[in-house]
Structure 1
Amino acid sequence: MPDQAAPVRVELPESFRVPAGTTAGEAMRELDLPNKGPQAVVVVRESDGTLRDLSWAPAQDTEVAPVPADSEEGRSVIRHSTAHVLAQAVQSINPEAKLGIGPPIKDGFYYDFDVDEPFTPEDLKVIEKKMRQIIKSGQRFSRRVYESTDEAREELVGEPYKLELIDDKGAVDDDEIMEVGGAELTAYDNVNPRTGERLWGDLCRGPHVPTTKYIPAFTLTRSSAAYWRGDQNLADLQRIYGTAWESTEAMDTYLDMLAEAEKRDHRRLGAELDLFSFPDELGSGLPVFHPKGGIIRREMEDYSREQHAAAGYEFVNTPHVTKGHLFEMSKHLEWYADGMFPPMHLDAEYNDDGTVRKPGQDYYVKPMNCPMHNLIFNSRGRSYRELPLRLFEFGSVYRYEKSGVIHGLTRARGFTQDDAHIYCAQDQVVEELTTTLKFVLQLLKDYGLDDFYLELSTKDPEKYVGTDELWAEATETLRTVAESSGLDLVPDPGGAAFYGPKISVQVKDALGRTWQMSTIQLDFFLPELFDLEYTAPDGSKQRPVMIHRALFGSIERFFGVLTEHYGGAFPVWLAPVQVVGIPVAEAFAPHLQQVVNRLRGRRVRAEVDHSDDRMQKKIRNHTTAKVPFMLLAGERDVEANAVSFRFRDGTQLNGVPVDEAIVAIDEWEESRRNDSPTAESMSEFLDAARKRR
């Protein structure tokens, strides 16, 4: 499928009819639907969502929808087909390689292999070259149904992992189902288009693109160690990752984004900008913040505190550890024990002979704050006049994340949640949820994130407490509030915590990547478990409804997301160093020191670079450090009692009077603008300030 320099987009029909006994590809050609370019139809979709190869011929007339290459489903099919070509290439180079699984994943694919030695970058180049040869030859993907599992075992006797999948058919996860098929046990053969000879095959349910020429753009990206079925106690495998797209242009755009994402990786920037680190002495997933990172974190927290206080939240604080009985009450030990650190057994007392005089008890570091907030609510009688009661805490929690999923600040073992629990009456729920969602969205916007959609996480049928009726009521209430916000709402079936459904705010960053940020959960069940009550206007005791709400999710994760969103170039109000004075020569340093002293008097974070470096090196150093305002001063500036601005983007604004410069910097910081200042924007800012005066 050759790339088109400037493909003309066509309007694909929503559906078309495939007559009985006719293949989908034949019916498609009758309608002259595209078979080249980004809109090439690669498979079709039945009304129940089932995807079919273009070689599929229904037994009766069937209405299907075309699936183009540039759709998410189309890309997934291309990527799955490319994974098969990868496996074919590996086994053609190394016939002793044993096959694991090879599913499509977000933005790419992988395949696992059992080989004697790990793959090297040189190996990947050889494999990729072989893949291109296979793709160029235009091999046809041909579906085949095994008559029995015995037939499949006989054919795959040399593939131990495939044999295991056959034996476990019907009891495997989604990736493995991609290999073994649904109701039927199927294989896909790669067939010589001229002779019909079977060149290679793999156990798979499909579907696939018609031929390898429908794979227009791919590349292998990396290799890594892997485990069979993700279990470290099972076989060690080697995994090759790649990406595939509907066009070279689409892949290049993606690879450019990856390169930019690598430059913005918060772990890399955290070290380069001296913000935080992960000392081995502390353990995996336990960060420490350095002074510059501490400034950013403090500013984030302080602004959040101001806004919460203004919105009627009351501040509380709870300990890091607790007796295990608390988490028995909350059911966390029943439903969440795998995510908790092991207990510490304390308080036992012993007789001289070593026998137990007083039994000890288990203490846990807390994985969440809600049970402790419930104890605060229950510390005294509550009246309806106190509701809604909004308790807020920056509460540190600890969760035993598996080592393979820990990822810098965005997936840590120790972190601090900006955690709130709101207790309200039943007739206050909708209004409180609506107000909370608006508050959350506005605060995220204040930090510079404003591209949102919502996700509704519903009950996991295997992991929940309470009645189906209350779950249904809570879910519909959240759905109503979410839809009334005007934002897109997408489902997340089974994604709720065990105690209630939730809305999560999904945020797109500067690179278009999606991050889950704030969550709002509606909970009828923990108030029941903790026997929470308030006195109603008629004197009766009533059960409050509980809303769980985390805005950042965790401060650490939010810090990591903002670092990547801004590429380390934080807005002025968050920047750890806001102003650096850079004298053209040391003789002009006193002039800049006076300016900096006045800025510090206005609580601006400013300093003068008195190092022995030349001026141009100082500019490079502080540009790399992403300082938003660099103030230069030479002889003319000193004589005119002025400074010259230098900005991160390399632009410059010369000869600004000192008094104007100080006021402008102070007002820019106070305004909490999230754009990075430039010569143009600062010039406009100064002009506006002059007009106001």
Structure 2
Amino acid sequence: MSHFVQDPASPVRSYAALLLARAVQQAFAGGKLGLFALTNQGFYYDFDLPSPLGEEDLKIIEQHMDALAAEKAPFGYRDISKEEALLIFEAREERWKVEWLKSLPASEPVLLFEQSGFVDVLDIRYSAVLAEWSASQKPVFKLLNVSGAYWEGDSSKPVLQRIYGVAFEHGKELRRFLSLQEEAQKRDHRKLGKQLELFMFADEAPGMPFYLPKGTQMRNELENLSRRYLKKYGYEEVRTPFIMNRQMWEQSGHWEHYRENMYFSEIDHHQYAVKPMNCPGHMLLYKNKRRSYRDLPVRYAEYGQVHRYEYSGALNGLFRVRTFCQDDAHLFVTPEQVEQEIKRTLQMIQEIYGIFGFEYSLELSTRPADSMGSDEQWELAEQALATVLDELELDYSLNPGDGAFYGPKIDFHIKDALDRSHQCGTIQLDFQMPEKFGLSYYDERNERQTPIVIHRAVYGSIDRFLGILIEHYGGVFPAWLAPVQVAVLPVAETHAAYGEEICQKLRSAGIRVELDERNEKLGYRIREAQLQKVPYMLIVGDAEREAGLIQVRAFGEQRQESMDLDVFMASLQQRMAEQK
């Protein structure tokens, strides 16, 4: 039984992107077409225009799109040769389309879209989905913003103007999207990170986060959670160096396939690279001693800090940084163990995501153009991943050509409270790197064999996952994760000693607590604790001190409840144990 699924929203987004291209060329004489791509709920298109666009220009373009959609002009597309396409777009002086066409293999067919004299050349991925859309249908769309984007993502090439938009079949879907966008601005992790004193950035280290005590506490909680599952699923935790020599990165294939994203140094007249990934270090650990088939699977896990160069314009809070911590693991397995280990890894990731209440979708990414290894190895690897997904009856979509350079992968796309998708967890199958490093084990006949490596991550980047959680919860974290779980507020200075006594008992019970004994009015301090989104406030005055009680006020509530401290502590400890 196959559980491969397609994204049903693609036709409307594809058509809206083409309407955008028509509208831009209609509104701005001399505008040249770049390329377009689809995003989770929207699309973007790159243009070479005579002058920069502003917000008013986007409104004008939307008006043209509305008029074009209302025409309901029929459209069609057809396969043509690369040579024929080049003639068409050279005649139209579409330099970027021409450049893109020239980069295609000579034998690759080109899909030409035609509507009322407008023509565009499409990525072949969008042909099937576009066939599901009719010109008689009118998409509901909204242009969101415009930004600069290097042609083909190459900083040495010119900057085009990238227009982002969303498109839906029904107006209610657009209204819901815009409402969620408004809420997303309130939950922006960069804003909340500053307000809640979790992390900061500094010009001295662009794109590299500094974690304040509260943010560090949250990271530690995420690692502690993960470590419990490492123990449950039989992993061994390791550490590898940040810097390793060029020869090793050449051996792994990263030098050829990834060096534009790496940082380099020179030591004793030899070139070294700061690691962008943990994989090669784990290969060296495995190779450290002779292995028998009885030793496999070997499961190495690392919370490894990695560094990757990102364009300054792409940096985005914790979502896109230049250094981050991967919860990385590599499983060294025999061919017979591959499917069982992938199943166990899927189960582990599902269990951890369940704690946060995340829904998720799965995506199988296949061989990219820039890859290494034989066709036979890639076919076996892709089939192994698909077989596991089908046997477990898990729905998944196919993402052709987006695998890692060393193997195909299963990616987890989690959905947050604002209905946005984030790619986090991944399972990757690798026949290449163990061969490149000469890894081996000896089978039951004492014959030398090469293991297969499964790369896996749950959070992906702990930094990015934390950013997602901040926005998912809107800063109102469950008690087990909150950096400060309890704020103790003495009514007056005379109650500070009793407040400190309560704090000591809470700390002894493993509860994270702060005492706010500032010389400020109680109402002010309550509002401050609310702004810090502390799960519980304990208010103590004369009556509480005399009776040995506390007044408990949960975040977001107006009422207070008188309670015995031991009863409160037991309740909170239970919530922490249940990770609520």
Shorter-chain TM-score tier:
0.7 to 0.9
Partner of 1:424: 333
Q: 2:323 aligns with which of 391, 408, 414?
A: 414
- Tell me how far 1:371 sits from its aligned partner: 1.7
User: What residue in structure 2 maps to residue 339 of structure 1?
Assistant: 261
Is 1:83 the counterpart of 2:20 in the alignment?
yes
Task: Tell me the distance in 2 between the aligned counterparts of 1:430 and 1:218.
Answer: 43
Confirm whether residue 561 of structure 1 aligns to residue 468 of structure 2. Answer: yes
Give 1:52-63 correspondences, 5 Å limit: none
Alignment CA distance shift 1:250-1:453 (3 Å):
closer
Change in 2 beyond 3 A, CA 1:484/1:407: farther
| Partner in structure 1 of residue 387 of structure 2 | 480
Q: For 1:407-445, what per-residue CA distance to the aligned partner results, in whole angstroms no more than 9, with x for missing partners?
A: 322222211211222222333332222222212221232
Between 100-109 and 610-619, the greater mean CA deviation after superposition: 100-109
Does the aligned pair in 2 maintain the 1:215–1:244 contact within 8 Å?
no
Tell me, in whole angstroms, the C-alpha distance in 2 between the residues paired with 1:183 and 1:218.
24
Residue 511 of structure 1 aligns to a residue in which SS?
A: coil
Q: 1:551 aligns with which of 453, 458, 461?
A: 458
Alignment of 1:580-619 (within 5 A): 580-619=487-526
In percent, how many aligned pairs have the same letter?
Answer: 37
> In structure 1, what is the equivalent of residue 346 of structure 2?
437
Distance 1:164 1:654, change over 3 A: closer
**Deviation by residue 1:365-393 (Cα, 9 ceiling, x = unmatched):** 11222222222222222233322221221
Deviations 1:637-688 (CA, angstroms, capped at 9, x unpaired):
3444322222222243411222212222222223322xxxxxxxxxxxxxxx
Indicate the RMSD between aligned Cα atoms, in angstroms.
3.4
- Please tell me the residue identity of whatever aligns with 2:419: G
Counterpart code for 2:344: T
Aligned equivalents of 2:431 and 2:18: distance in 1? 47
Residue 97 (structure 1) shift: 5.3
Letter in 1 for 2:360: F
Change (3 A) 1:78 1:424: closer
8 A contact 1:628–1:647 mirrored in 2: yes
CA contact (8 A) 1:384 1:535 kept: yes
- In structure 2, what residue type is equivalent to 1:623? Q
The equivalent residue for 1:507 is: 414
Residue from 99, 103, 120 that aligns with 1:204: 120
User: Does 1:378 pair with 2:301?
Assistant: no
The separation in 2 between residues aligned to 1:126 and 1:425, in whole angstroms, is: 60
Letter of the 1:664 partner, please give it: S
2:247 is the counterpart of 1:325: yes
What is the one-letter code of the residue matched to 1:188?
Q
Deviation digits for residues 169-204 of structure 1 (CA, Å, limit 9, x no counterpart): 84468xxxxxxx9455x6533xxxxxxxxxxx6433
Counterpart mapping for 1:125-144 below 5 A: 125=59, 128=62, 134=67, 138-141=70-73
The answer as to whether partners of 1:102 and 1:109 remain within 8 angstroms in 2 is no
Q: Does 1:100 align with 2:33?
A: yes
Contact 1:141 1:188 in 2 (8 A): yes
Q: Secondary structure at the match of 1:410?
A: coil
How far, CA to CA, are the matches of 2:358 and 2:190 in structure 1? 24
Find 1:454's aligned residue among 340, 355, 362: 362
C-alpha distance 75-155 of structure 1, shift in aligned 2 (>3 A) = same
Query: Which amino acid is 2:38 matched to?
Result: I
The equivalent position to 2:299 in structure 1, one of 390, 396, 407, is: 390
Instruction: Report the residue type matching 1:345 in the other structure.
Output: E
CA contact (8 A) 1:78 1:215 kept: no
Q: Partner residue of 2:442?
A: 535
- Calculate the TM-score normalised by the size of structure 1: 0.73
Following superposition, the deviation at residue 143 of structure 1 comes to 5.2
Instruction: Summarize the Cα distance change of 1:332–1:154 in structure 2 as closer, same or farther, 3 Å threshold.
Output: closer
Secondary structure in 1 matching 2:361: strand
- Cα distance, 1:128–1:423 mapped onto 2, change above 3 Å: closer
Paired residues of 1:588 and 1:635 also in contact (CA < 8 A) = yes
Q: Partner letter of residue 332 of structure 2?
A: Y
**Cα offset, 1:580, TM superposition:** 0.2
Report the residue type matching 1:508 in the other structure. Answer: K
For residue 255 of structure 1, report the CA deviation from its aligned partner.
0.6
| Change beyond 3 A, Cα 1:112–1:634 | same
**Partner amino acid for 1:118?**
P
Structure 2 CA distance for partners of 1:477 and 1:235, relative to 1, 3 Å: closer
| Matching residue's letter, 1:100 | L
Distance 1:505 1:450, change over 3 A: same
Name the CA shift for 1:476/1:215 in 2 (closer, same or farther; >3 Å): closer
Distance 1:245 1:474, change over 3 A: closer
Q: Distance in 2 between matches of 1:414 and 1:437?
A: 27
Which residue is 1:399 aligned to?
308
- Structure 1 pair 123–150 and aligned structure 2 pair: CA distance change class (3 A): closer
Helix, strand or coil at the partner of 1:512? coil
TM-score norm. by structure 2 comes to: 0.86
**Residue type at the aligned position of 1:337:** R
Paired residues of 2:257 and 2:370 also in contact (CA < 8 A):
no
After superposition, where does 1:513-528 map in structure 2 within 5 Å? 513-528=420-435
Amino acid at match of 1:344: S
Equivalent residues of 1:86, 1:131 under 8 A apart: yes
CA distance in 2, matches of 1:110, 1:241: 4
Tell me how far 1:205 sits from its aligned partner.
5.7
- The CA distance in 1 between the partners of 2:301 and 2:534, in whole Å, is 33
SS at match of 2:73: strand
Aligned pairs for 1:284-303 within 5 A: 285-303=207-225
Structure 2 distance, partners of 1:292, 1:300, is 13
Q: Which letter does structure 1 place at the counterpart of 2:13?
A: S
1:139 counterpart letter in structure 2: E
- Counterpart-to-counterpart distance in 1, 2:458 and 2:388: 17
* 1:203-352 equivalences in 2 (<5 Å): 203-204=119-120, 215=138, 217-228=140-151, 230-283=153-206, 285-341=207-263, 343-347=264-268
Partner Cα distance (1:606, 1:495) in 2:
46
Deviations for 1:276-315, whole angstroms, at most 9, x for unmatched residues?
12211112x2211111101111111123223313432222
Give 1:320 shift: 0.5
Q: Shift of residue 264 of structure 1?
A: 2.1
Q: Distance in 2 between matches of 1:109 and 1:498?
A: 26
Q: Distance in 1 between matches of 2:509 and 2:547?
A: 23
- Are the structure 2 counterparts of residues 653 and 428 from structure 1 closer, same or farther at C-alpha, using a change threshold of 3 Å? same
Q: Which residue in the other structure is 1:121 paired with?
A: 55
Counterparts of 2:339 and 2:44, CA distance in 1: 45
Counterpart Cα distance in 1 of 2:111 and 2:467: 44
- SS of 2:459's partner is coil
Q: Secondary structure at the match of 1:473?
A: helix
Q: Is the 8 Å Cα contact of residues 500 and 521 (structure 1) preserved in structure 2?
A: yes
Which structure: larger Rg? 1
Do the aligned partners of 1:227 and 1:235 also contact (CA within 8 Å) in 2? yes
SS at match of 2:303: strand
1:622 deviates by 1.4
**Cross-structure match for 2:125:** none
Q: Does 1:463 align with 2:371?
A: yes
Could you say if the C-alpha distance between residues 260 and 89 of structure 1 is closer, same or farther in structure 2, counting changes exceeding 3 Å?
Answer: farther
- Is contact 1:216–1:246 with CA below 8 Å preserved after alignment? yes
SS of 1:75's equivalent? helix
Give 1:559 shift: 1.5
Residue deviations 1:66-91, cap 9 Å, x none? xxxx9514422552354146426633
Indicate the SS of the match to 1:660: helix
1:536–1:542 Cα contact (<8 Å) kept: yes
Q: How many residues align?
A: 559
* 1:544-566 deviation digits (Å, cap 9, x = unpaired): 22222222212212222222222
**Unaligned runs of at least 5 residues, structure 1:** 1-69, 174-180, 190-200, 348-359, 674-693
* 8 A contact 2:145–2:165 mirrored in 1: yes
